[in-house]
Structure formats: C-alpha cells, structure tokens
Amino acid sequence: MRAFSAIAAAIVRGFVRDRASLFFAIVFPLMFLVFFGGVLSDRGQPAAELVQVGDLALLESLSPEAREAFDAAFDVRRVEDLDTALEEVRSGDADVALRQDGDTLVAHYTQTDQVQAAVTQATLRALVDGTNVALLAQEAGSPVPFALDVERVEDESLTVIQFVTPGLLGWAIATSAAIGAAATLQGWRQTKLMRRLQLAPVRTRTIVSARVVVTLGIALVQTAIFLGVGMAFFGLSLTGAWWMAVPLVLVGTLCFMALGLLAGALTTTAEAAVNAANFMVLPMAFLSGSFFSLDGAPRWLQAVSDLMPLKHLNEGMLDVMVRGEGPAAALPVLGILAGFALVVTLVAAKLFRWDSV
Amino acid sequence: MTAIRVRDLTKVYGEVRAVDGVNLDVADGEFVGVLGPNGAGKTTLLEMVEGLRRPDSGTVEVLGQQVWPRNAAVLPRIGVQLQASAFFERLTAREQIRTFAALYDVSPARADDWLERVGLAEKASARVEDLSGGQAQRLSIACALVHDPELVFLDEPTASLDPQARRNLWDLLSGINDSGRTVVLTTHYMDEAEVLCDRVAVMDSGRVLQVGSPAELVRHLDAPARIIVAPGQLDEAGARGIAGTEAVEVGPDGTVLTTRHPADVVARLGELGALDGVRVQTGTLEDVFLALTGRSYRA
C-alpha cells in the first residue's frame, strides 16, 4: 500500500507540475467550451445584412408582428442610391439590397452564399405574401381562413451549451487519458524508470493500478470542472440520470488509456507516442460529434463513427446528462466501451516490448 | 561466500553475441569493476546478473539464489543504478528518494539521511531536471542504496561527467563498500577501475578477457617501464651503457630509457649521480586494456 500511494503521488506531482499536460487536459478543452457555449450560442443563424435603398413604403405598413420578424431576420442599413447598394452586395459587405419600385419590392442579391440567398428570398416573399393576404382579408371584411401558431418543443434551457458540453468533455478525457498512458509508458521506458521499478520489490499490478487510479482521478476532476464551469457561466442544466456520467467517464477513460498504451507499444520514443495518441484521438473527436453534430453527415460517415468508442461515450453522456434519459440508457454504452478497452489492452500487451533492444 | 556466480553466460541478439560464455565470481564485500569499451557487452552482462534479461544459456546465482524469472526474494537485497537517470519526472530530489524508499518500505527519515550522505541536502528541494550531471548521479546512487542492499550494481556511474565531478564521485563510491557491501561497477575509464576496484574483469566483444587485481593485471602484462632522466644529467652514450636498457630516446624533456628492470637501472643512475628530477612510468591498467582489446579506433 505504501508503494502504491508513493507511485500514485509521484505521478500526480509529475502531472500537476507539467504545465503543458495541465493545459491540454483542462484549459484547452475549456477554451472550446467557452467558444462553443459562450460565443456561438448567442448567434444561431446570423441575421442577413440588408441595404435599404431610399424609403420603403411597404416596411412602414407592416403589422407589429411582421415588423418584429423582419428586424430579427435582417440587419438593416440605409443608403440613398442604388449603385452604392449594389456595390456593397457585390463586394460581400451586404447580403441583399432592397428597393421599392411602385408596388413592387425589388431584391438584389448574390448567389455566393446560396443558403443565405434562399433564406433571404423566402423571408422577403413571406413578408410580401403576408402583407397581401392581410390587405385582401381586410378588403373582404373576413378573417383569414388559416393561421399559423409556432411553439418550440424543447425546454427553454436547451441551448447550445447542453449539446456541446458532453461532447467536449468526452474529447477532453479521451485526450488526456490516451496521452497520459502513452507518455508514461514510453517515457518510463526511455528513462529506464520502468526497468528500475522492475528491480524494486513491487508488483507490476501495483504500478499499473497507481497509473490507472491517477488517470481516473484526473478524468473526474476534468468532469467536475467542465460541469461546474458550464453550470456557473453558461447556463448548463443537467437532467435525468446525469450521475451516470460518472461511470461513463470512468469506463471511457480506461478505454482511451488502452488506446494510449497501444500508441506507446507501437512507438519508440515518448514524443512519437504522444503524437500517435493525438493522431488517434483528434480525428476521432471530429468523427464522434465532439465538436459538431453528425446529424447532417452522410450515412457512410455516420456508420464509420459508430466504430469509434468516443462516439458512444459522447452519445451515452448526451442521453443521461441532457436528454433526460434514465440510467439504463448508459448501460449498453458502458458495455461497448469496456469491451473496446479490453480488446485494445490485450493487443497493446501483445505488442509491448520492455525496451527497444 | 560468493555474492555472484556466473557460469557460461551467453546472450545473442541476431548475429551479435553480446555476451559470449562469460564466467565470473564476485566474493562478498568485494569491489569489482567490469571494464571494457562501448559495446563490449558490459551492460547486457549486468542486466542478466540483475535478473532484467533472460540469458540464452548459462546460469546466474546472486546471493545464492536464481535471478530469472524475477525473484522477489533477491530484489530487496540488491541495489541497482542504471545507466540512464531513471527518475520520476518533475519530482524534487527529496521526493524522488522518498518515493524509492517507499518502494522498499524504508522510512522517509532514512531517505533524507541518504540525501545528506551523498551531499545533496542543499539540493533537496531542486527538481531532478535542474540537477547537474554529477548531482543527478549522486541522487541515482543514493536511490540505489536507500534500502541498504548487500550488493550494489553501478552501470557507468561517471559516464559523461567532467573530470572534477568524476573524482568527486569516486570519494563517494570508494566509501560505499566500507560496511562490507559488495559492489559491481561497469566503466570504460581505466583510472576509475584502478582507483576503486579490488578486482577488474576486462571485457571485449562479449567475452571476459582477463580477471585480476589492477596490480596483477599490470604485472602480468610485463610492459617495460619508462625512466625519464632530466636534460643534461646523462648523455646518450652513457644511457646506452646502462645494463638492462632496451631503448634510449633523447628529447627536449630529457632522455627516456625503456627497461624491464627499472630497479637495476635506477640504482645505476644513482651511482652515476643522474637522479635529479628522474621520473619512472610503469605500466597502467590502460596499457593492459589496450593490449587486450587492441588499439583500433571504435566508433
């Protein structure tokens, strides 16, 4: 027990005193959290930039609701002549130039951003149609036959932060678990510390379990910091069986430690091992929806992502942390991750050599 | 009693016979050096004796026990300092040695004593990365000795140290077997082996070429002594006239006489009144080493 705690303490000290590993384990992922959660969530679909040429009588006659929708959809600026407005559209400073020609509203747009152009056209058309219908109905003295009422399905609190936190947390623990294991294995082999420990009357499993326990502890600290920052500053609110994220994080950590061991077993220097671990985890993070949702990705890509342990970890954490699912939702994910960890550890153990000779 | 008994030990890597039929006995309390050029097989031999590598053939007994497969009964009784500085990263010197102490169930207080004994008390709070080469070696040796082992292995402890740091370390090393501890040291420095070791095994190409005390090895070499007579004390003809002189060379620093009978020649020089400033150079372990391993340059 003394040997275990001495080795664990040595690893913890080594980690805490290494600014680079602290940065990549905690600060770097938090920067992403701030970026996605704090910056992107305020924006949604950006408003189109609209240049208004002279007076637009139609705009003045809009109903209050329609005016509100118009203001939400467009950032409006006013210029006096058409040429200036067209130049702005052409150069990309504005998305659309709008002028009124008698009873016709004329929109000049570019096709550079096709989605933005389509949204702009549809919005303006709806505006004109809506005004026409309102006027016709008024003339006829009868109410409009159909009405549309919109209501959001999700809880008000379901903002971007809810969806990015589990994914980014998954990426953060995957990276530090894999890199920690790879760097320890190769670093200790390179400095011959591993051989030195072999010559001490300490069991291999004492050394391995010290490393594993420390990495699990680091993952839990990462989780606490992530959820704490998310809740304190970005309005993250956890749902349902969120506490099931703890076993998910722990098993996920084992899974990525196994990948790190594999990276360490396949390489001959600590630097190469860390690079190999990064090379495995970073593309996986992209393919596992850590940074953005894969709902819009092609089918084959989604099929590939199903092979990634990180995808399952992310989905499992989303289910229990923000989608309000019960604890049972995490069980199949735990099974998949544990199986992956076992298989990869066995492969790494098979490939491992005590030293390079 | 023998601390180490090695018989017909062989280790082959592909085409290279890294260790080739080595026999070696080390007695209790002895300070033995394994001397050889780089790549002679010293480290591989040591690693098999320590139980880190499996021999292809032959036997190793350490303190009367087998060392392969990993023998937990032997480990607490031996201390090992490996070639690289095998430290936990970013720990201070004190934390480092206390960590190793804990692995052997030794108290932190005794670990701190060892830090003091190797002269690192002032550096206790310095990170291992900030220690000089000599300080790191001292710490490494202290970590190998912290559990007070009966047998210590030191693998090139003074490699890559400057001359001052090396001599500094010798003082430490020559003291570690005072208490009856057995020490095995590898080195490629002749002077080191001559100063520290009771016996030396000269190794090259995986084989032990000769074993003996440094004095024995030099005597066995039967190398001629060089007697240098100060300038102006003796002319060349006079020098050649001395019985037992094999060669004479006159240079700016004096006349050099080569002989296998230095005592006779020096006595004759006394009779001739030419002893002022005379110097005698006898064979050194370096001569033995070069005679045994050849003078060709090795990368």
Residue B127 is predicted with a pLDDT of 95
Q: How far apart are CA B225 and CA A47, in angstroms?
A: 98
- Exposed, middle or buried, A223 (CB in 10 Å: 0-12/13-18/19+)? buried
Residue A347 is predicted with a pLDDT of 93
Q: Is residue A279 included in any domain, yes or no?
A: yes
Question: What is the average pLDDT value for chain B, to the nearest integer?
Answer: 89
Residue A156 is predicted with a pLDDT of 44
Q: In this model, does residue A95 exceed pLDDT 60?
A: yes
Q: In this model, does residue A298 exceed pLDDT 60?
A: yes
Do residues A202 and A325 share a domain? yes
Q: How far apart are CA B112 and CA B123, in angstroms?
A: 11
Q: Is the ipTM of this complex over 0.90?
A: no
Q: Which of A108, A140, A172 is the last residue of a domain?
A: A140
Question: Mind giving me the DSSP string for B161-197?
Answer: --HHHHHHHHHHHHHTTTTS-EEEEEES-HHHHHHH-
Please indicate if any CB of chain A lies within 8 Å of the CB of B54. no
Q: Is residue A2 included in any domain, yes or no?
A: no
Q: Which of A140, A170, A189 is the last residue of a domain?
A: A140
Do residues A20 and A100 share a domain? no
Regarding the domain delimited by B2-220, which CATH topology (the fold level of the hierarchy) does it fall under? Answer: Rossmann fold (3.40.50)
Q: What secondary structure letter does DSSP report for A243? A: G
Please indicate if any CB of chain B lies within 8 Å of the CB of A200. yes
For the segment A162-196, what is each residue's pLDDT rounded down to a tens digit?
888 999 999 999 999 999 999 888 889 888 898 89
Q: In this model, does residue A150 exceed pLDDT 70?
A: no
Residue A103 is predicted with a pLDDT of 82
Chain A residue closest to B51 (CA)?
Answer: A199
Q: Which of A20-29, B2-11, B158-167, B244-253 has the highest mean pLDDT?
A: B2-11
Q: Is residue A289 included in any domain, yes or no?
A: yes
Per-residue pLDDT band for A294 (boundaries 50, 70, 90) equals confident
Do residues A14 and A67 share a domain? no
- Asked whether the bond before B55 is cis by omega within 30 degrees of 0, the reply is no
Question: What is chain A's alpha carbon radius of gyration, rounded to the nearest angstrom?
Answer: 28
Do residues A165 and A294 share a domain? yes
Residue B299 is predicted with a pLDDT of 44
For the segment B264-299, what is each residue's pLDDT rounded down to a tens digit?
888 888 888 888 888 888 877 788 888 888 766 554
Please indicate if any CB of chain B lies within 8 Å of the CB of A198. yes
Do residues A106 and A176 share a domain? no
Q: How many CB pairs under 8 A join A and B?
A: 70
Do residues A197 and A289 share a domain? yes
Task: Taking the CA atoms of B39, B43, B48 and B54 in sequence, report the sign of the dihedral they define.
Answer: negative
Please indicate if any CB of chain B lies within 8 Å of the CB of A125. no
What's the gap in Å between the CA of B126 and the closest CA on chain A?
Answer: 13
CB pair distance less than 8 Å for A18 and B104: no
The answer for residues whose C-beta is within 8 angstroms of residue B217's C-beta and 6 or more apart is: B200, B202, B210, B285, B288
How large is the angle between the packed helices A245-266 and A331-351, nearest 10 degrees? 20
B279-281 and B225-229 beta bridge pairing: antiparallel
How many domains does chain A fold into? 2
Of A187, A193, A199, the CB nearest to B50: A199
Q: Which of A112, A140, A168 is the last residue of a domain?
A: A140
Do residues A80 and A31 share a domain? no
Place of tokens 């510390």: A193
Per-residue pLDDT band for A270 (boundaries 50, 70, 90) equals confident
Per-residue pLDDT band for B121 (boundaries 50, 70, 90) equals very high
Q: In this model, does residue A342 exceed pLDDT 90?
A: yes
Do residues A36 and A81 share a domain? no
Do residues A303 and A164 share a domain? yes
- Which CATH number covers residue A135? 3.40.190.10
Q: How far apart are CA B104 and CA B110, in angstroms?
A: 12
Chain B CB contacts of A10 below 8 Å: 88, 91, 95, 99
Quick one: what percent of chain B has pLDDT higher than 90?
A: 50
Report angle CA A266, A272, A276 to the nearest 5 degrees: 65
Please indicate if any CB of chain A lies within 8 Å of the CB of B280. no
Residue A354 is predicted with a pLDDT of 66
Do B8 and B58 touch, CB atoms closer than 8 A? Answer: yes
The answer for residues whose C-beta is within 8 angstroms of residue B291's C-beta and 6 or more apart is: B221, B223
Mean pLDDT computed over B198-209: 93
What's the gap in Å between the CA of A4 and the closest CA on chain B?
Answer: 8
Total length of chain A: 357
- Exposed, middle or buried, A87 (CB in 10 Å: 0-12/13-18/19+)? middle
Regarding predicted confidence, which is higher, A342 or B188? A342
Q: In this model, does residue A311 exceed pLDDT 50?
A: yes
Do residues A319 and A209 share a domain? yes
How large is the angle between the packed helices A64-73 and A114-140, nearest 10 degrees? 170
Report angle CA A256, A258, A261 to the nearest 5 degrees: 115
Residue A121 is predicted with a pLDDT of 83
Per-residue pLDDT band for A126 (boundaries 50, 70, 90) equals confident
What's the gap in Å between the CA of B239 and the closest CA on chain A?
Answer: 57
User: Is the domain defined by B224-282 classed in CATH 2.60.40?
Assistant: no
Give start-end residues of each CATH 3.40.50.300 domain in chain B.
2-220
Q: How far apart are CA B253 and CA B227, in angstroms?
A: 12
For the segment A43-94, what is each residue's pLDDT rounded down to a tens digit?
455 677 888 888 887 777 777 777 777 887 788 888 888 888 888 888 888 8
Domain assignment of residue A221, given as a range: 7-41+157-351
Number of other CB atoms surrounding residue A47 within 10 Å: 14
Q: Is residue A1 included in any domain, yes or no?
A: no
Q: Is residue A174 included in any domain, yes or no?
A: yes
Do residues A163 and A226 share a domain? yes
pLDDT-wise least confident of A79-93, A104-118, A220-234: A104-118
Residue A152 is predicted with a pLDDT of 57
Mean pLDDT computed over A241-269: 93
For B43-73, letters b (16+ CB in 10 Å) and e give bbbbbbbbbbbebeebebbbbeeebeeeeee
* The one-letter amino acid at B159: A
Record the tokens describing residue A185, joined without a space. 């294995």
Q: Is residue A282 included in any domain, yes or no?
A: yes
Q: How far apart are CA A166 and CA A230, in angstroms?
A: 10
Give start-end residues of each CATH 3.30.70 domain in chain B.
224-282
Q: Is residue A147 included in any domain, yes or no?
A: no
CB pair distance less than 8 Å for A187 and B89: yes
Q: Is residue A283 included in any domain, yes or no?
A: yes
**Nearest 5°: phi and psi at B205?**
50, 40
Do residues A123 and A197 share a domain? no
For the segment B132-147, what is each residue's pLDDT rounded down to a tens digit?
988 999 999 999 999 9
For the segment A133-146, what is each residue's pLDDT rounded down to a tens digit?
878 888 887 777 77
